[in-house]
Chains A and B, each alone.
Chain A
Amino acid sequence: MKKIEIFNSVFFILLGCFFLYLTREMKPEYYTIGPGFFPRMIAGLLILANITRLLLIVFRIETFDARIVYDDKPLYAAAGIFALYAVGNYIIGFTISSLAFLYVMMDLLGNRSLLQKTVTPVAVTLGVKAIFKWVLVLPLPAGFWNIL
């Protein structure tokens, strides 16, 4: 527990340092404070806040609740499938990728009804398409081949 808190404090200190490093070339110009001033100030405060947190953790002033241990595999699976869905939209367009995505996700979430797994993707995809494409006239991703 304490290790995780130390780890995330150090992570934010490093993140602050990274942003400070990126602003090294940003100089004031034309009597303005320059593009680097604000990010430098925020990154400095981020480092300062997390050094303070680190000290509070090390000297046991900040306390924590007991943490539940999670199994993160479903998270990575869901994020991975969603990333594939986004890429699928880019390549094969909204309609086909949404049908596939909805079917796979419903299956993964334990839906065993073939009827529901067939009807829901079609209904949701067509419903979204009807609202966005035909009512609001907002183009949905059509993919490389512009099919469906």
Chain B
Amino acid sequence: MDFGMFLWAIQQILHPLNLFIIACAVTMGIIVGALPGLTATMACALLVPLTFGFPTVQSFLSLLSIYCGAVYGGSVSAILMGIPGTPAAAATMLDGYQLSKKGLAGKALGMACIASSIGGVISAFIMTFLSPQVARISLLFGPAEYFGIAFFALSILILLSGKSLLKGFTTILLGLLCTTIGMEPLTGAPRFTFGYESLTAGLDLIPVAIGLFGFTQVFDDVIAIFQSTRKRERQIIENLLPKWHELKELLGTILKSTFIGTGVGIIPGIGPETASFLGYAEAKRVSKHPERFGTGIIEGVVAPEAGNNGVTGGAMIPMMTLGVPGDAPTAILLGGLMLHGLPVGPMLFRDHLDFVYPIFVGFIVANIFMGIIGLSLARFFARVLDVQRSILMPTICVFCFIGAYANRLNLMDVGVSLFFGIIGFFLKRHDFPLSPMLVAIILGPMLEMNMANALTIGNGSVMVFFTTPIGTTFIGLSIMIIAATVISRARKNGG
């Protein structure tokens, strides 16, 4: 770490033009992320051509700022409408939307913004000071380790199972079965496509997420409007900033989720969706009142938000140091870097420190700006819920439609979304939890591909999963979590 360069970079980034670029890009990112169906990946991809004419540092800074803003922006529609703007915001929706129903959308948005900003800033500091050291660890991961991580993340889901573990387990398995639709990851053989060519590429995550959460919510609300069972709460939008004692209570949760998120981000290919659910599950596990999760508590908002924004800095580490993107948006950022003719990997640190340090500082500033701009916009966003439900619900339907359609510009995805909406509605009605299903859909391809790879390497022997210390540790932890949860539930039921 060259502190002279670091101070020089601070001076560069605090130039009014750079601050203006960061502010505009963060705002754009928040707005794009808040639109259902438009993810951080898409926001970056759409804006790469627009930034091509900028000088290298400004171009990359604007993409980074859009990335940070979009990851937070997903929580806006999740909290206000119950539609996750991005799949990473699905965990935020569980408590965020319940808070909105209680008239506390402003508080939820404010806390989500603060947690996102803290998560982003800490992960940016980790990226700045520990990049080369941390990147080396991620290189130790092979198929057995990845399988161990995916298995561990799935076992954590059991904590989100609700009242019945077997119902939670059933939805995890349903999610995994959904991921088997389309091409098999190793050989590319088509499976369960039922003659539909558009199913060969598999189910896209966004229509499924919009179906499971957006449409399910719309159907729920439509029934509530018809039966007049839901009282409309006027939104309280004063006091977006939490009181100091509230923030102090939540700080532990925010920090823990941030470190989970950054850790997940460092490992290529996992992404913010998993990090947010892991953060949520961990907050629920250590909570004194886990039964209140899902009913609208603020811990359920800050944990996933700190987790998914913690990913941003983590995912940048392997991208900057090794040229291996940590998640999909960083793959686009990597492309942006290459478009400007910069080398990726260790040579970037050797030959272009005048680029690397401003980016480190700019990333920290972008996350601080995200907090400020997000809080300013929260007041305006929260007003949306004061619109009459007979106007709001049809509008949400149109956004659900656009969200499902926009990612692949495919009307078949709208059908998929509606199908999952109906499935989700009936599952929810029969007390099957929906979030484990979505996370299983996210993790399924990673689990299957790495299991298949590891078994192929090990000539079909399952002992291959226990040959590496990292893989063995994760599988051991998973077994312990499952056993402890089953035993504690059995005791509770017995008592």
A joins B in a complex: yes
| CB atoms of B180 and A38 under 8 A apart | yes
Also in contact, A79 and B418, with CB within 8 A (given A4-B430, A35-B187):
yes
Q: Closest approach, in angstroms, between the C-beta of B20 and any C-beta of chain A?
A: 20
Complex Cα distance A42/B398, Å? 35
Contact with B along A15-26 (1 / 0, CB 8 A): 100010011001
List CB contacts (< 8 Å) of A4-63 with chain B.
4-5, 8, 12, 15, 19, 22-23, 26, 29-39, 42-43, 45-46, 49-50, 52-53, 56, 61-62
Chain-A contact segment, one of B3-11, B57-65, B170-178, B248-256: B170-178
| CB atoms of A89 and B401 under 8 A apart | yes
List the count of A-B residue pairs having beta carbons below 8 Å apart: 161
| CB atoms of B222 and A61 under 8 A apart | no
The listed residue (B187, B397, B425) touching A105 by CB distance below 8 A is: B397
Complex Cα distance A51/B32, Å? 45
Q: What chain B residues lie within 8 Å of A89 (beta carbons)?
A: 401, 405, 411, 414
Contact with B along A93-121 (1 / 0, CB 8 A): 00000100110011001110000100010
| CB atoms of B422 and A79 under 8 A apart | yes
Most chain A CB within a 10 A radius of its CB, from B393, B395, B409, B415: B395
Q: What chain B residues lie within 8 Å of A61 (beta carbons)?
A: 493
Complex Cα distance A4/B415, Å? 27
Complex Cα distance A89/B411, Å? 8
| CB atoms of A109 and B222 under 8 A apart | yes
| CB atoms of B223 and A75 under 8 A apart | yes
The listed residue (A77, A82, A132) touching B397 by CB distance below 8 A is: A82
Chain-A contact segment, one of B130-138, B448-456, B470-478: B448-456
Q: Is A130 an interface residue (CB 8 A)?
A: no
Q: What chain B residues lie within 8 Å of A132 (beta carbons)?
A: 402, 406
Complex Cα distance A137/B47, Å? 11
| CB atoms of B430 and A120 under 8 A apart | no
Q: Is B469 an interface residue (CB 8 A)?
A: no
Complex Cα distance A139/B411, Å? 12
Chain-A contact segment, one of B114-122, B270-278, B384-392: B384-392
Complex Cα distance A12/B415, Å? 22
| CB atoms of B187 and A29 under 8 A apart | yes
Contact with A along B203-233 (1 / 0, CB 8 A): 0000000000001001100110111000000
Q: Closest approach, in angstroms, between the C-beta of B85 and any C-beta of chain A?
A: 14
Also in contact, A32 and B35, with CB within 8 A (given A62-B164, A82-B397, A128-B398):
no
Q: Closest approach, in angstroms, between the C-beta of A84 and any C-beta of chain B?
A: 11
The listed residue (B170, B222, B388, B402) touching A75 by CB distance below 8 A is: B222
Please tell me the number of chain A residues within 8 Å of chain B, measured between CB atoms.
69
Also in contact, A136 and B46, with CB within 8 A (given A49-B173, A110-B390):
yes
The listed residue (A46, A62, A136) touching B173 by CB distance below 8 A is: A46
| CB atoms of A141 and B405 under 8 A apart | yes
Complex Cα distance A50/B430, Å? 14
Q: What chain B residues lie within 8 Å of A139 (beta carbons)?
A: 409
Q: Closest approach, in angstroms, between the C-beta of B40 and any C-beta of chain A?
A: 14
| CB atoms of B394 and A106 under 8 A apart | yes
Q: Is B460 an interface residue (CB 8 A)?
A: yes
A sample of 21 inter-chain contacts (CB < 8 A) reads: A22-B192, A32-B456, A34-B187, A35-B189, A53-B164, A79-B418, A79-B422, A82-B215, A101-B397, A102-B394, A106-B394, A111-B388, A116-B391, A120-B391, A120-B394, A124-B394, A128-B399, A136-B32, A138-B406, A140-B402, A140-B405
**Beyond A19-B180, A33-B460, 20 additional pairs, beta carbon < 8 A:** A15-B177, A26-B191, A32-B186, A33-B455, A38-B176, A39-B180, A46-B170, A53-B166, A53-B170, A75-B219, A77-B222, A78-B218, A89-B401, A109-B394, A111-B390, A124-B394, A124-B395, A128-B399, A131-B35, A137-B46
